[in-house]
Structure 1
Amino acid sequence: MREHHLIGGRRSFALHALLGCTSLNLLPMSALAQDAATPYRLSPIIVTGAVAVDDDAQSVVAQELWVGGKVATSILDTPASVSVVTAQEIEARNADTLETVLQYTPGIHTDFYGSDDRNDYVLMRGFQATSYREGMTLGSMRGVREDPFAYARVEAIRGANSTLFGVSDPGGSINFVTKTPRFERFGDAYLTAGSNDHAEVGIDFGDILDDEATLAYRLTAKAQDSGLDYATSRDDSTFLMGGLTWSPSDATELTVTFDRLTRDGTPNSGGYPMDRQYDRSDFFGEPDYNDHAVDRSTLSAFLRHEFANGLNLRANLRYSDLTDDFGYAYIVDPGTGTGTVFDRAFFGTDRTAQELIGNVMVQYDAQFGAIDSSTLAGIEFRDAQTESASYYTAAPAIDVADSVYSGAPVGLTPYATADEDYTTKSLFVQQNLSFDDRFIATVGLRRDWLELASVGDSFGVPSDLQDDFAETSWRGALTYKINEGLSTYASYVQSVAPPEFGVSPERGHQYEVGVKYQPAGTTALISAAAFDLEKNNITVPVVQADGSITRELVGKTRARGFEIEGKAELSNNLSIIGGYSYVDAEVERAVVRGTDVSGQAFANVPRHTASLWMSYAVPESGNLGAQTFGIGARYLGDYYFGLPNADKAEAAILVDAAYTYAFDAATEVALNVSNLFDEQHVVGSGTANYYNPARNVAVTLRRSW
Structure 2
Amino acid sequence: MPRCRRRFVLSISALALPLLFVSPAYAQMAGDVAEIVVTARAETATKTDTSIAEVPQSLSVIGADLIAARGAIGVQEALRYTPGLRTEPNGADFRFDYVTLRGFGSTDFIDGMRQGESFYTARTESFNLERIEVLRGPSSVLYGQAAPGGIVNSLTKVPQFDFGGEAAVQYGSFDRKQAQVDLTGALNDSGTLAARFVGVLRDADNQVDFGQDDRLFLAPSLRFRSADERTDIILSGVYQRDRAASIASFLPVNATLLAPSRDRELRRGVYLGEPSHNFYDADHYSATLQATHRFGDAVTYSGRLRYVHSDTANGDIEPDVWNGLENPFLDAGNRILPRYRYDKYTDLDMVTTDHNLRFDFATGPLTHKLLVGIDYLRSTLQGSTIYDAAAPIDIYDPDYSPANVPELDAERDPNSRNTQLGLYVQDQIDYADVVTLVLGARRDRATSWSEGDAKQVDHATTFRAGLIVKPGMGFAPYVSYSESFNPITGIDFFGDSFRPQRGRQWEGGLRWQPDANMLLSAAYFDIKGSNLLATDPNNGENQIQVGTVRSRGFELEASRVLPGNYTITASYSHVKARTGFDTDPLLVGLPISAIPKDTASLWGEKSVALGSDLMLRIGLGVRYVGATEEAAAFYDVDPDGQIERLRTPGFTLADALLALEWKKWSLSVNATNLFDKNYYAQCSVRSACSFGYARNVIGTLGYRF
Q: Normalised by the size of structure 1, how large is the TM-score? A: 0.87
- For residues 642 and 150 of structure 1, the distance between their equivalents in structure 2, rounded to whole angstroms, comes to 40
**Quick one: structure 1 residues 551 and 181, their matched pair in 2 at CA, closer, same or farther if it must change by over 3 Å?**
closer
Contact 1:60–1:88, Cα closer than 8 Å, also in 2? no
Asked if residue 432 in structure 1 is aligned to residue 428 in structure 2, the reply is: yes
Asked if residue 590 in structure 1 is aligned to residue 586 in structure 2, the reply is: no
Q: Give the counterpart of 1:639 among 624, 628, 642.
A: 628
**SS at 1:284's partner residue?**
coil
- For residues 201 and 470 of structure 2, the distance between their equivalents in structure 1, rounded to whole angstroms, comes to 47
Counterpart residue number, 1:221: 199
Contact 2:266–2:396, Cα closer than 8 Å, also in 1? no
**Quick one: structure 1 residues 540 and 90, their matched pair in 2 at CA, closer, same or farther if it must change by over 3 Å?**
closer
Shift of residue 701, structure 1, vs aligned partner: 0.6
Shift of residue 549, structure 1, vs aligned partner: 7.0
- For residues 187 and 436 of structure 1, the distance between their equivalents in structure 2, rounded to whole angstroms, comes to 42
Shift of residue 504, structure 1, vs aligned partner: 5.8
Q: Structure 2 unaligned segments of length 5 or more: list them.
A: 1-31, 260-264, 634-643
- For residues 454 and 401 of structure 2, the distance between their equivalents in structure 1, rounded to whole angstroms, comes to 39
Counterpart residue number, 1:617: 607
Shift of residue 385, structure 1, vs aligned partner: 1.5
**Quick one: structure 1 residues 484 and 183, their matched pair in 2 at CA, closer, same or farther if it must change by over 3 Å?**
farther
Asked if residue 83 in structure 1 is aligned to residue 60 in structure 2, the reply is: yes
Counterpart residue number, 2:523: 529
Give the aligned length: 637
Counterpart residue number, 1:420: 416
**Quick one: structure 1 residues 405 and 503, their matched pair in 2 at CA, closer, same or farther if it must change by over 3 Å?**
closer
Residues 121-163 of structure 1: per-residue CA shift (max 9 Å, x gap): 2100000100111111113576421111111011100111211
**Quick one: structure 1 residues 661 and 295, their matched pair in 2 at CA, closer, same or farther if it must change by over 3 Å?**
same
Q: Give the counterpart of 2:550 among 558, 583, 588.
A: 558
Contact 1:270–1:330, Cα closer than 8 Å, also in 2? no
Counterpart residue number, 1:692: 692
Counterpart residue number, 2:267: 279
Contact 2:625–2:651, Cα closer than 8 Å, also in 1? yes
Residues 591-634 of structure 1: per-residue CA shift (max 9 Å, x gap): 54xx6122211111000000001111111237x93111111111
Matches within 5 A, 1:51-450: 59-139=36-116, 143-248=121-226, 249-274=228-253, 275=255, 276=259, 277-333=265-321, 334-336=325-327, 337=329, 338-407=333-402, 409-415=405-411, 417-450=413-446
Residues 479-537 of structure 1: per-residue CA shift (max 9 Å, x gap): 111226221110000111326878863322100001111122x4221111100001235
- For residues 630 and 530 of structure 1, the distance between their equivalents in structure 2, rounded to whole angstroms, comes to 30
Counterpart residue number, 2:447: 451
- For residues 598 and 390 of structure 1, the distance between their equivalents in structure 2, rounded to whole angstroms, comes to 34
Matching residue's letter, 1:167: Q
Counterpart residue number, 1:509: 504
Contact 2:147–2:485, Cα closer than 8 Å, also in 1? yes
Counterpart residue number, 1:569: 561
Contact 2:607–2:616, Cα closer than 8 Å, also in 1? yes
**SS at 2:68's partner residue?**
helix
**Quick one: structure 1 residues 147 and 572, their matched pair in 2 at CA, closer, same or farther if it must change by over 3 Å?**
farther
- For residues 537 and 448 of structure 2, the distance between their equivalents in structure 1, rounded to whole angstroms, comes to 28
- For residues 183 and 81 of structure 2, the distance between their equivalents in structure 1, rounded to whole angstroms, comes to 28
Matching residue's letter, 1:534: K
Matching residue's letter, 1:627: L
- For residues 191 and 464 of structure 1, the distance between their equivalents in structure 2, rounded to whole angstroms, comes to 51
Shift of residue 342, structure 1, vs aligned partner: 1.3
Matching residue's letter, 1:279: R
Matching residue's letter, 2:503: G
- For residues 196 and 592 of structure 2, the distance between their equivalents in structure 1, rounded to whole angstroms, comes to 44
Contact 1:452–1:466, Cα closer than 8 Å, also in 2? yes
Counterpart residue number, 1:485: 474
Structural RMSD (CA): 2.1
Matching residue's letter, 2:464: R
Shift of residue 651, structure 1, vs aligned partner: 1.4
**Quick one: structure 1 residues 140 and 319, their matched pair in 2 at CA, closer, same or farther if it must change by over 3 Å?**
farther
Contact 1:270–1:329, Cα closer than 8 Å, also in 2? no
Residues 153-185 of structure 1: per-residue CA shift (max 9 Å, x gap): 111001112112103210110001010001111
Shift of residue 677, structure 1, vs aligned partner: 1.1
- For residues 133 and 436 of structure 1, the distance between their equivalents in structure 2, rounded to whole angstroms, comes to 34
Contact 2:110–2:156, Cα closer than 8 Å, also in 1? yes
Q: Give the counterpart of 1:603 among 567, 580, 593.
A: 593
**Quick one: structure 1 residues 366 and 119, their matched pair in 2 at CA, closer, same or farther if it must change by over 3 Å?**
same
Shift of residue 428, structure 1, vs aligned partner: 0.8
Shift of residue 120, structure 1, vs aligned partner: 1.9
Shift of residue 213, structure 1, vs aligned partner: 0.8
Contact 1:271–1:284, Cα closer than 8 Å, also in 2? no
Contact 1:56–1:152, Cα closer than 8 Å, also in 2? no
- For residues 606 and 117 of structure 2, the distance between their equivalents in structure 1, rounded to whole angstroms, comes to 42
Shift of residue 550, structure 1, vs aligned partner: 6.3
- For residues 184 and 306 of structure 2, the distance between their equivalents in structure 1, rounded to whole angstroms, comes to 22
- For residues 543 and 270 of structure 2, the distance between their equivalents in structure 1, rounded to whole angstroms, comes to 31
Contact 2:391–2:405, Cα closer than 8 Å, also in 1? no
**SS at 1:647's partner residue?**
strand
**Quick one: structure 1 residues 228 and 503, their matched pair in 2 at CA, closer, same or farther if it must change by over 3 Å?**
closer
Shift of residue 440, structure 1, vs aligned partner: 0.7
Percent of paired sites with the same residue: 28
Contact 1:543–1:549, Cα closer than 8 Å, also in 2? no
Contact 1:349–1:389, Cα closer than 8 Å, also in 2? yes
Counterpart residue number, 1:8: none
- For residues 530 and 651 of structure 2, the distance between their equivalents in structure 1, rounded to whole angstroms, comes to 32
**Quick one: structure 1 residues 454 and 346, their matched pair in 2 at CA, closer, same or farther if it must change by over 3 Å?**
same
**Quick one: structure 1 residues 204 and 396, their matched pair in 2 at CA, closer, same or farther if it must change by over 3 Å?**
same
